[in-house]
Structure 1
């Protein structure tokens, strides 16, 4: 009986430890959960109008939390690549990302404070994965991975910002998205222009 009891305790401890190891909090989801509580508290109306308002606010805050994580990724990854890249093209792209996204991040933070929206302060899981995929590689391989990730990320960002520029409930958020779009498009043009030279590296 004693050994069965001890085995049971060991199994419970093992499962608890496994669960703890597998739990990987996502800063974006955590921030959005905080925002959803704020929205719930601010929209007590259970009518369809209240439901529509809640959905609109959730769209805005979800866009902002994802944009914050993505913006932090552009800066942090840009800093790492600017320091370690082999090609001047990759360094140029990285430095441009740091400069432009630092500015956009600051604008988003100011807007979030005004709208009482909680933003993540660390990279979300998707952004962490991208950062790891690039920085684990060395030399030319890192340059190539970086430009590939930046191309796909900016294509996704442009779609998201285009949608937010017309769909966001907040006029100020629509304006922020519209203002940021030209910069994102310039980034994509730069990336696509330099990508062939980077991919040709050996």
Structure 2
């Protein structure tokens, strides 16, 4: 069960404004390493609200690479891999919108959402945000920095797979009631909850 967890922090409400990316690499159910990069967002414009969340400021990224330069390093790491994000609809849309902004083709990869499948694994919790799930599962979390969030997501996913007895991605539809999303040149399909149809009486 090899996968990479991905997390973005953004400079503003615009999805094409990543200011940090974190990747955590898992092989044979073991966390190998976490990498993170600061990114100079387009126009280097930050919203005050976003700075309050992650603490990254324009001066922190003024001399950092913009996304196209960094993409040359990141693409070989994630191309044709299986990615997991907590609230993947956000992180994957940041990736898509940023690639579109810089007119870069989408990579080919599969992905899933730990927010969605956590609802199937731990039913009835008061919340499914990363902070709540990490607290319940005794996972250390330095929240809202991309590297720390990606690592916590990796630990959370491994715990979920143990609970649900997931051995490979083929188990996702049945054991996690979650579809596998795809990103490919020219488009994407989302990772969503798999509907369960109850027999009619």
Q: Greater share of strand residues, 1 or 2?
A: 2
Same fold by TM (over 0.5)? no
TM-score by length of structure 2 reads 0.24
Work out which of the two has the higher radius of gyration on C-alpha atoms and give 1 or 2: 1
TM-score by length of structure 1 reads 0.24
Q: Greater share of helix residues, 1 or 2?
A: 1
